[in-house]
Amino acid sequence: MVRPLGGALRTRVTGFVRRGAATTAALAAVLLALAAYVLQGTLHTTRATEEQQRALVVAALFTEARIAIAMQEVNLRHYQVEPSVAVKQRFQRVAEEADQTLAEVIRAGGEQARADARRLRDQQTGYRDLAERLMVLVADSDPSHAQLDRLEVTPAFYSLQDDVDHVARAYHDAAQQQVTALRETQGRLLVGTAVGFAAGLALVGMIMRLVLGYQRRLVEQADESRHLALHDPLTGLPNRTLFGRSLDAALSDAAGTGEHQVALMVADLDGFKAVNDTLGHHAGDQVLLEAGRRLSAAAGDAGVVARLGGDEFAVLLPRVTCIGEATALAESMVAALRCNFALEEGPAAISGSLGIALSAAEGLGEELFRHADAAMYRAKAGGGGVAVYDAGSDTGSQDRMQLLAELRGLLDDGDPQGRLRLHYQPQVRLSDGAVTSVEALVRWDHPERGLLLPAAFLSIAETSGLEVRLTCHLLALAVRQAAAWRLAGSPYCVAVNVSPGCLVDAGFVPAVLATVAGAGLPPELLRLELTETSIMADPASTVRALCEIRDQGISVSVDDFGTGFSSLAQLRHVPADELKIDRMFIKELGQDDGTPDAVMVRSAIDLGHNLGLSVVAEGVEDVGALIRLRDMTCDFAQGYALSRPVPADKLPEACERAERTARAATAPGHRAGGPPATGRHRAAVRS
């Protein structure tokens, strides 16, 4: 049967409508399902992103704690080599960073993360307590520190390090797994939303960008952490850890081929402390940056330059054929350091002391470091420049470094036990035999080596930047003692020896004046003694400082006169009150009046008097010399013939003996030519 056209149309329309309605319903259902899918996917993605963010934060915090814990050990080992306040402060700073990082995990992490952080914090606290005990023993030179280190500190660190490494890796892996899971979720959401919902695609894109941003940040943070752990934060040069790895690799390569040697150089900046003190620490940082750049430029691509700490650098030459090659490069480095530094605060001039050591057939990195360090100290003692390690010359370098560490510790702690002591030697006025002044001479009551004379440690202080601090410490002791004598009715003038570098230090003169004022000592009861050569080393700066001191009433003495061959034209401008003739001209004076020494002494006395100075003869070892000096109209004398240096409590007796000896020798009718000097007096040396 044929249907009518209208019915067919209606049927088609009805079918279309029905299909359209079904399609619409299906489309609506698809859209609703897609919307629900997108909403559910969005919520799931948001939760996953938040969890991943927390996981990344926790993983990053554990990584920071791991690095801080490792830096504690680095600073602890540095402190064992150089027990200074700066190193201890760095240790405490990184220890606090580790504690704070773990505390942040406890605040922000999940239950398991908090438990892990609490466990690590307890281990960290135990290790830190042990490390601080070890530093106390090292600072006190207690030999038991080695046993504490071996039995407790090192095991505690390795246990803590293994635990924090395990935890950091675990949370890092967990964070990476969450990153992977989030990627899969985002992929599914991208496929679903790409079919019919463009907004979902935009959301996926936003989430992808967010995830990629977090991933990049995590990678950059890891790279930055690795860089900071192996490089100096100021100069960007490799630190001791990375340099040690390069040195070990170079030594292994040299040992394997046997065709070349490894050269290690240790460089120390001379005059850097003066830049810090006069221009400020910002200028000091600029000097360190520029010094690192100059050393790197001189070393070229073949060398590795590192900053070891402070103003000390190291240079590694992995392949050298002879010592001449290394020495030539070292000379160019020292020459580069001698060029003026153009700083924001103004120009600065420093120099460098550089020690070189070549590897032996089976050389170790630590041994090579010790050799280069010893050579550097020898170069510094010689006034800077380059020195090559020599086993014969540098045998005592380890002993010097030990004494340096102990001396620095005494000055850092204020010497609470009074190990640094002053002995006093009377100076007799030859006109009447009266003791009017005394010279202060330092002694170090070392707990293991006994009583050390100045020759054992003064040169160490002068070549390691401690001379100003040591001089100020001893000056304070002498001034307080002089004030006590004055109150007791014996107003002796105390003469204190001043190290060569003190008068060019901007803070020395104010420190002297403050010390005298603080003790209530009249300035005329203090005399500063400077050697002839130290005055002439920098006449302009020295004369300015001496004028400022002398204007305040403190007297000045030129010590060891006659040994420095100074220009008389320069000497006449020095604001001095006294001239001390060196003992080398006095020791044979009592035997013959016609010797060259006698002529020199007489001329020096006449010169001093013509310049308006009083003259002191030091090192008088026999009565004959004392009589001869009286006949030459010398003003004062001191030496073993009168008294040895004695502690402060024994000075009154020593002064009485010295006065009796002087008055007996200079009595009318007593002439020179008496008995010769005893062997004991002849053997006396300056102390």
Structure confidence by residue, pLDDT tens digits, 636-652: 999 999 999 999 999 99
Structure tokens at 369: 């470091």
Q: Which of 584, 485, 587 is nearest to 526 (CA)?
A: 485
CA 517 to CA 553: how far, in whole Å? 12
Please tell me the predicted confidence (pLDDT) of residue 528: 95
CA 556 to CA 546: how far, in whole Å? 7
- Residues of CATH 3.30.70.270 domain(s) within the chain? 240-393
- Residues of CATH 1.20.120.1730 domain(s) within the chain? 14-213
CA 28 to CA 365: how far, in whole Å? 76
Lowest mean per-residue pLDDT among 184-198, 396-410, 490-504 = 184-198
Q: Give the mean pLDDT of 625-638.
A: 92
Please tell me the predicted confidence (pLDDT) of residue 563: 64
625/188: higher pLDDT: 625
- What dotted CATH number matches 421-440+467-666? 3.20.20.450
Q: Give the mean pLDDT of 52-62.
A: 78
pTM of the model: 0.49
CATH top-level class of 14-213? mainly alpha
Please tell me the predicted confidence (pLDDT) of residue 106: 86
- Residues of CATH 3.20.20.450 domain(s) within the chain? 421-440+467-666
* Res. 201: pLDDT tops 70: no
590 pLDDT band, cuts 50/70/90, is low
676 pLDDT band, cuts 50/70/90, is very low
Alpha-helix residue ranges (DSSP H) falling in 520-650: 532-537, 539-551, 568-571, 596-610, 623-631
Please tell me the predicted confidence (pLDDT) of residue 670: 55
CA 467 to CA 459: how far, in whole Å? 9
Domain 240-393 grouped into CATH 3.40.50.620? no
CA–CA–CA angle 142, 143, 147 (5° rounding): 115
- Token look-up 């202060």 returns 440
Structure tokens at 633: 């109209």
Q: What share of the chain is helix, strand, coil (3-state, %, to 5)?
A: 60, 15, 25
* Res. 168: pLDDT tops 60: yes
Lowest mean per-residue pLDDT among 96-100, 158-162, 206-210, 568-572 = 568-572
Q: Mean of the per-residue pLDDT values for the chain?
A: 82
- Token look-up 């307080």 returns 480
Q: Give the mean pLDDT of 182-200.
A: 69
Q: Give the mean pLDDT of 35-62.
A: 73
Cα 327 versus chain centre, distance = 26
For 400-410, how does the pLDDT look when each residue is reduced to its tens digit (9 = 90+)? 777 887 888 89
Q: Strand, helix or coil at 541?
A: helix
Instruction: Evaluate whether 625 touches 592 at the Cβ level (below 8 Å).
Output: no
* Res. 169: pLDDT tops 60: yes
Q: Which of 35-39, 258-262, 465-469, 519-523 has the highest mean pLDDT?
A: 519-523
Instruction: Kindly give the interhelix angle for 365-381 and 240-257, rounded to the nearest 10 degrees.
Output: 110
Please tell me the predicted confidence (pLDDT) of residue 8: 47
For 416-471, how does the pLDDT look when each residue is reduced to its tens digit (9 = 90+)? 999 999 999 999 999 999 999 999 999 999 998 888 888 888 877 877 678 889 99
Give the gyration radius of the chain's Cα atoms.
Answer: 39
